[in-house]
Amino acid sequence: MEHEEYRENPVDDLKERVLELAKRRGFLWPSYEIYGGVAGLWDYGPLGTLLKQKVENAWREIFVVGEGALPIDTPTISVEEVFLASGHLSNFVDLIVECVNCHVTLRADHVVNDYLRGRGIAADLCAPDIAEACVPSREKTQELIDFYGITCPDCGGPLGEVHDFNLMFATHIGPGTQRKGYLRPETAQGIFSDFPKLLRFFRDRLPFGVAQIGKSFRNEISPRQGVIRLREFTQAEIEVFVNPDKKSIHPRFDEVADVEIEILSKDFVGRATVKAACDRGIIAHQYLAYYVARSQEFFLRVGVHESQLRFRQHLPDEMAHYAVDCWDAEGLTQHGWIELAGIADRTDFDLKQHERQSGLQMTVFVPYAKPESVERTVVRPKMDFLGPKYKNKAKQVADYLATISDPIGPFIFEGQEIDPLGYVIETATQSVLGDFITPHVIEPSFGIDRTVYTILEHAYDEDTIDGERRIVLRLPRGLAPIEVAVFSLVKALNEKAVEVFQLLRAEGFLVEYDDSGTIGRRYRRHDEIGTPFAITIDHETVENGTVTVRDRDTTKQIRRPIASLAATLREMLERGFTVSSL
Ligand code: GAP
125-174: pLDDT as tens digits: 554 444 444 557 888 889 989 999 999 999 999 999 999 999 999 999 99
Tell me how far CA of residue 393 lies from CA of 260, 388, 400, in angstroms: 55, 10, 11
Protein residue with its CA nearest to atom 11 in ligand 1? 447
Q: What does the mean pLDDT of the chain come to? A: 92
At residue 576, the pLDDT reads 72
At residue 93, the pLDDT reads 92
Distance 392 CA to ligand 1 centre (A): 43
Ligand 1 surroundings by CB, under 6 angstroms: 186, 188, 218, 220, 229-230, 233, 235, 237, 339-342, 443, 445, 447, 449-450
At residue 131, the pLDDT reads 41
In this predicted structure, the answer to whether residue 463 has a pLDDT above a threshold of 90 is yes
What SS3 string covers 509-539? Answer: CCEEECCCCCHHHHHHHHHCCCCCEEEEECH
Q: Could you tell me which residue, 444 or 323, shows the higher pLDDT?
A: 444
At residue 582, the pLDDT reads 62
Closest atom, ligand 1, to C-alpha of 220: 23
Closest atom, ligand 1, to C-alpha of 344: 2
Protein residue with its CA nearest to atom 5 in ligand 1? 342
Q: Could you tell me which residue, 433 or 201, shows the higher pLDDT?
A: 201
Closest atom, ligand 1, to C-alpha of 187: 1
In this predicted structure, the answer to whether residue 185 has a pLDDT above a threshold of 60 is yes
At residue 133, the pLDDT reads 42
Protein residue with its CA nearest to atom 12 in ligand 1? 447
- The answer to whether the CB of 145 falls within 8 A of the CB of 162 is yes
Closest atom, ligand 1, to C-alpha of 339: 14
Q: Which candidate, 459, 529, 458, 454, places its Cα nearest to that of 226?
A: 454
What's the pTM? 0.87
Closest atom, ligand 1, to C-alpha of 328: 14
Distance 39 CA to ligand 1 centre (A): 17
Distance 133 CA to ligand 1 centre (A): 12
Residues 220 and 313: their CA atoms lie apart, in Å, by 24
Distance 553 CA to ligand 1 centre (A): 33
Instruction: Give the burial class of 270: count Cβ atoms within 10 A of its Cβ; 0-12 exposed, 13-18 middle, 19 or more buried.
Output: exposed
At residue 9, the pLDDT reads 53
- Give the residue-averaged pLDDT of 80-84: 97
Between the ranges 37-51, 215-229, 312-326, 567-581, where is the mean pLDDT highest?
37-51
Q: Which pLDDT band, with edges at 50, 70 and 90, does 5 fall under?
A: very low
Strands 364-381 and 423-437: what pairing? antiparallel
| Cα three-residue angle 434-438-441, rounded to 5 degrees | 130
Q: Which pLDDT band, with edges at 50, 70 and 90, does 222 fall under?
A: confident
- Give the residue-averaged pLDDT of 164-191: 93
At residue 128, the pLDDT reads 44
